[in-house]
Chains A and B, each alone.
Chain A
Amino acid sequence: MSFQKKFAIVIGLFALLVVGWISLEFESGEVPFISVGDLIDNHSRYTQSRFRMGGNVDEGSISFSEDKLTVSFVLRQGDDRLPVTYTSAEIPDLFKDEAEVIVEGKYREGVFQADNLMTKCASRYEEEANYKPITEG
């Protein structure tokens, strides 16, 4: 066998190894992005324990613990509502009533314990037009 062929085989094996490895990591690494309704109805059917969800912060539902480190709110998606808690000194700057958020974490006895809370990205603030027009155009 020529050396070129040997080398090609080594490269092929390496590629296979990496591909196999990536797919293995995927099995364990994926966090399903599911709907609130799906989580409430079917959470026990999922093999994963961590979930990601998107929705809006229900108007007036935000409350803080006494030390201000834990925030509780109700996540609303369509007609589905789910209480969420999140513990951190750093609440995202854009987190407020009706903000569009993504939460990631675990579901325990009717409460979603988020360890990651993201607001829809900051540089996409174009929707919130806040010109100061003197005459409406």
Chain B
Amino acid sequence: MYALLGNSLLTLSYIFTIYGLIIVGLHLWNRYERFLRSGKVAFISSSLLIIISSVVLIHELMVSNFDIEYVAKYTSAETPAMFKFSGLWAGMEGSLLFWLTILSVYFVFVIIQNRNQHRKLIPWVLITMGIIQFFFLTMSNFFENPFAPVTAGMVVSGRGLNPLLQHWAMLLHPPMLYLGFIGFSVPFAFAMAAIITKNLDAVWIQTTRRWTLMTWTFLSIAIIMGGKWAYMELGWGGYWAWDPVENASLLPWLTGTAYLHSVLIQDKKNMLRLWNMILIMLTFTLTIFGTYLTRSGVVSSVHAFAATDLGIWFFGFIIVIIAVNIFLLILRKDQLKSDNRLESFVSRESGFLFNNMLFVAMMLTVLWGTMYPIFSEAVSGDKITVGSPYFNRIMIPLGLLLLALTGIGPLLAWRKTSPRSLKRNFLWPVVTGLLAAAIFGVVFKIRIVYPLLSAALIMFVLATIVMEFYRGIKARRRITGENYFKALLSMVDKNRTRYGGYVVHIAIIMMFAGFTGKAFDKEADLSMMPGEVQTLRNYEIVYQDYWFETPETNPGKRSNHVAKVIALDVNRDGRHYSDMKPEKRFYTDQNNQPHSDVALITTLNEDFYVVLGDVDLDTGRATLKVRINPMVTWVWLGTLVLLFGTLISINVEAFFKKKTR
């Protein structure tokens, strides 16, 4: 019944989308205003139908209607309610519907937001987004139908959700990632409209500025949250492994970040029209590519969905996007020439360009490393993987260069920077950076090049930002006589892009501090008997006890699994520090699939991280992996600061003020 409803909704929305595409196309031909209106209604209708159909699927997941294959495949009667909900994006079919749903929400938003503006651009925006919607609807209707009936006869209880996915970060990471990925379709649609209608000034960029920032923020948070999940759930003690699917989310982030910077030049100087166009096309293509990579089975990864024949369609779609983009770029190459030219290496413009080059170089590095196993297999028959060392050896120095630019770029003047201003702006930050390196090298006896360099650059960048804020506040006080706090607020309010950007830069250096801590990780594999004591660095681990828990002994916590638990007493520097209870769980609704539950003590300085390998319930012998991870928390804290910074830039209040006026 509900399956039929969901199916009908999807089919109906498919019809509406096709109608919308045809009618808007006709409008472009005959310019009848009512055709455009009809098209808008059609797209809003199809979008609403999609949203309703995903509500239907959520409902079916929540009530555990195992007559639907998808529900039976990804949830069981015992799955906790919130993870029944997240079942929506746990599998291929649901996640495609979820993709569509978010696209639809954006689509409706774009239509309403622009109902009275950008009359020339809007038809092409509708067509671009309509085609994307059409493609995904085709997938959902014909290939990966989330409402397909179950094939294995009557099912009492479904298969349950993969225990790895039963974690709070998995409630947030996929929606965030999708919001980030799909959000880029909006600036992309405007870019397409701009290039097709030859409106190639900065209007399309200004219109989509908030979208781009918001999307970028979602994507940034999603990537970090995915790292947080990997850190807590996968139990190898890190948050980034250069896994193909992680890379897939990083690729559009890299070009998207480049775009975020380079549009500032088009906005201010009307330069780089061609380049910005290329960057947004690239970014959008990479989001589709990322979606493809996780669904096609071409790369094997912990996060990938099972291999399907969907790949070929996605691949075709990507080829079409690339071909259309290249065609348009060639067709409009004369209109894409810029009015202004570069004048000096030491200018803001050049700073942004170097920043862009680094981001693109990083993107190519990651793309090459990710795709190489596939190329090598095609060429030589050997599947050669490259692994983390390759990525780290290239990405770390490129990242440090970028970090240096984070400090240098914003302090350069437009057009050309005078030697005097160079000295004025850089003397103290450089001294601060060198001092930091000296302190780390001499006092903390750190003799590894990259961490030293990283520490120096972090302090250098921090000094430039502090100086910028200080000078801005001082100048403002001189003019207005406001107190420090008021001067700060009004200064930020006057130039939100700039100061919000600085706050994001602070977030980035916090994360770099976290990345740098990785160089000082400590890890040990321990085998212990009850009562035994072992030490790692300044930690002392006392193995106290072990036991077994079942749904009967602990029904509140363990509705769908049994667990072996051990109790550890941890002392630090000779004093009692904390009790830890790492677990090994076996999910009863999942063929007793085992899963390790990490125990963790986290501080600003370092994390103490324990994974229970196994414990023999007869003898009590336990195997443990113990890690000390310095500075990890700074990566998570940086994310919060990043959110704060982009909220300043997006200027949320003004957005709502405009709405209510």
List A residues at the B interface (Cβ < 8 Å): 3-4, 7, 10-11, 14-15, 18, 21-22, 25-26, 29-34, 52, 67-69, 87-91, 93-94, 104, 120-126, 128-137
1/0 contact string of B260-283 vs chain A (CB within 8 Å): 000000000000000000000000
1/0 contact string of B358-374 vs chain A (CB within 8 Å): 00010011001000110
Q: Is the CB of A11 within 8 A of B394?
A: no
Instruction: List 30 contacting pairs A-B, 8 Å CB cutoff, sorted by A.
Output: A3-B344, A4-B342, A7-B342, A7-B345, A7-B350, A15-B361, A18-B361, A21-B394, A22-B365, A22-B394, A25-B390, A29-B389, A30-B385, A32-B382, A68-B621, A88-B625, A89-B526, A89-B611, A91-B614, A122-B162, A123-B162, A123-B165, A126-B73, A129-B159, A130-B159, A131-B72, A132-B155, A133-B155, A134-B156, A137-B154
A residues in contact with B302, CB < 8 Å: 121-123
Q: How far is the CA of A57 from the CA of B393 in the complex (A)?
A: 33
The segment out of B208-216, B315-323, B437-445, B591-599 that lies at the interface is: B591-599
Considering only CB atoms, which chain A residue lies closest to B243 in the complex? A121
Q: How far is the CA of A7 from the CA of B345 in the complex (A)?
A: 8
A26-B386, A122-B164, A123-B302 known; A3+B341 contact, CB < 8 A: yes
Q: Is the CB of A123 within 8 A of B305?
A: yes
Other A-B contacts than A29-B387, A34-B382, 14 sampled, CB-CB below 8 A, are A3-B342, A11-B353, A18-B364, A29-B389, A30-B384, A31-B385, A68-B616, A69-B527, A94-B594, A121-B300, A121-B301, A130-B591, A133-B154, A135-B154
Q: How far is the CA of A22 from the CA of B302 in the complex (A)?
A: 26
Q: Is the CB of A33 within 8 A of B389?
A: no
List B residues at the A interface (Cβ < 8 Å): 72-73, 150-159, 162, 164-165, 235-236, 300-307, 341-345, 350, 353, 357, 361, 364-365, 368, 372-373, 382-387, 389-390, 393-394, 398, 525-527, 590-591, 593-596, 611, 613-614, 616, 621, 623-625
A residues in contact with B343, CB < 8 Å: 3
A68-B616, A93-B594 known; A31+B384 contact, CB < 8 A: yes
A residues in contact with B150, CB < 8 Å: 137
Q: Is the CB of B154 within 8 A of A91?
A: no
Q: How far is the CA of A52 from the CA of B384 in the complex (A)?
A: 9
Q: Is the CB of A89 within 8 A of B154?
A: no
Q: Is the CB of A68 within 8 A of B162?
A: no
Q: How far is the CA of A88 from the CA of B389 in the complex (A)?
A: 20
Q: How far is the CA of A134 from the CA of B72 in the complex (A)?
A: 14
B593 contact from A93, A129, A131, A137, Cβ within 8 A = A93
B232 nearest CB across to chain A (Å): 15
Considering only CB atoms, which chain B residue lies closest to A8 in the complex? B342
B residues in contact with A90, CB < 8 Å: 235-236, 525, 596, 611, 613, 623, 625
Q: How far is the CA of A22 from the CA of B307 in the complex (A)?
A: 30
B residues in contact with A129, CB < 8 Å: 152, 159
A82 nearest CB across to chain B (Å): 18
A residues in contact with B153, CB < 8 Å: 133-137
B residues in contact with A122, CB < 8 Å: 162, 164, 302
Interface core residue of B72, B383, B385 (most chain A CB under 10 Å):
B385
Q: Is the CB of A26 within 8 A of B162?
A: no
B residues in contact with A31, CB < 8 Å: 384-387
Q: How far is the CA of A89 from the CA of B623 in the complex (A)?
A: 5
A103 nearest CB across to chain B (Å): 13
A4 nearest CB across to chain B (Å): 6
Q: How far is the CA of A122 from the CA of B587 in the complex (A)?
A: 13
Q: Is the CB of B152 within 8 A of A22?
A: no
Q: How far is the CA of A117 from the CA of B593 in the complex (A)?
A: 18
Considering only CB atoms, which chain A residue lies closest to B623 in the complex? A89
Considering only CB atoms, which chain B residue lies closest to A96 in the complex? B594
Considering only CB atoms, which chain B residue lies closest to A127 in the complex? B306
B361 nearest CB across to chain A (Å): 5
A3-B341, A89-B624, A90-B625 known; A132+B156 contact, CB < 8 A: yes
A residues in contact with B389, CB < 8 Å: 29
Q: How far is the CA of A120 from the CA of B306 in the complex (A)?
A: 11
A121-B301, A137-B151 known; A126+B345 contact, CB < 8 A: no
Q: How far is the CA of A34 from the CA of B306 in the complex (A)?
A: 24
B414 nearest CB across to chain A (Å): 15
Report, nearest first, the 3 A-B pairs whose CB atoms are least far apart. A137-B153, A67-B527, A29-B390
Q: Is the CB of A124 within 8 A of B387?
A: no
A residues in contact with B398, CB < 8 Å: 18
Q: Is the CB of B614 within 8 A of A68?
A: yes
Q: How far is the CA of A127 from the CA of B306 in the complex (A)?
A: 9
B residues in contact with A15, CB < 8 Å: 357, 361
B295 nearest CB across to chain A (Å): 12
Considering only CB atoms, which chain B residue lies closest to A54 in the complex? B383
B residues in contact with A120, CB < 8 Å: 300
Q: How far is the CA of A29 from the CA of B345 in the complex (A)?
A: 35
Q: How far is the CA of A14 from the CA of B159 in the complex (A)?
A: 53
A63 nearest CB across to chain B (Å): 14
A31 nearest CB across to chain B (Å): 6
Q: How far is the CA of A25 from the CA of B393 in the complex (A)?
A: 8
Q: How far is the CA of A115 from the CA of B581 in the complex (A)?
A: 27
Q: How far is the CA of A104 from the CA of B386 in the complex (A)?
A: 12
A26-B386, A131-B152, A132-B155 known; A88+B525 contact, CB < 8 A: yes
Q: Is the CB of A33 within 8 A of B383?
A: yes
Q: Is the CB of B154 within 8 A of A134?
A: yes
A29-B387, A135-B153 known; A124+B73 contact, CB < 8 A: no
A residues in contact with B373, CB < 8 Å: 33
Considering only CB atoms, which chain A residue lies closest to B160 in the complex? A130
A68 contact from B157, B387, B596, B623, Cβ within 8 A = B623
Q: How far is the CA of A26 from the CA of B385 in the complex (A)?
A: 10
B residues in contact with A32, CB < 8 Å: 382, 384
A90-B625, A134-B156 known; A125+B382 contact, CB < 8 A: no
Considering only CB atoms, which chain B residue lies closest to A119 in the complex? B302
Q: Is the CB of A89 within 8 A of B350?
A: no
Q: Is the CB of A89 within 8 A of B525?
A: yes
A residues in contact with B300, CB < 8 Å: 120-121, 124
Q: How far is the CA of A5 from the CA of B301 in the complex (A)?
A: 44
B residues in contact with A123, CB < 8 Å: 162, 164-165, 302-306
Q: How far is the CA of A132 from the CA of B164 in the complex (A)?
A: 21
Interface core residue of A21, A68, A120, A125 (most chain B CB under 10 Å):
A68
A residues in contact with B385, CB < 8 Å: 30-31, 33, 52
Interface core residue of A34, A89, A120, A125 (most chain B CB under 10 Å):
A89
A residues in contact with B72, CB < 8 Å: 131
B residues in contact with A30, CB < 8 Å: 384-386, 390
Considering only CB atoms, which chain A residue lies closest to B73 in the complex? A126
B387 nearest CB across to chain A (Å): 6
B residues in contact with A124, CB < 8 Å: 300, 304-307
A89 contact from B73, B344, B591, B613, Cβ within 8 A = B613
Considering only CB atoms, which chain A residue lies closest to B397 in the complex? A21
B residues in contact with A136, CB < 8 Å: 152-153
B304 contact from A25, A87, A121, A130, Cβ within 8 A = A121
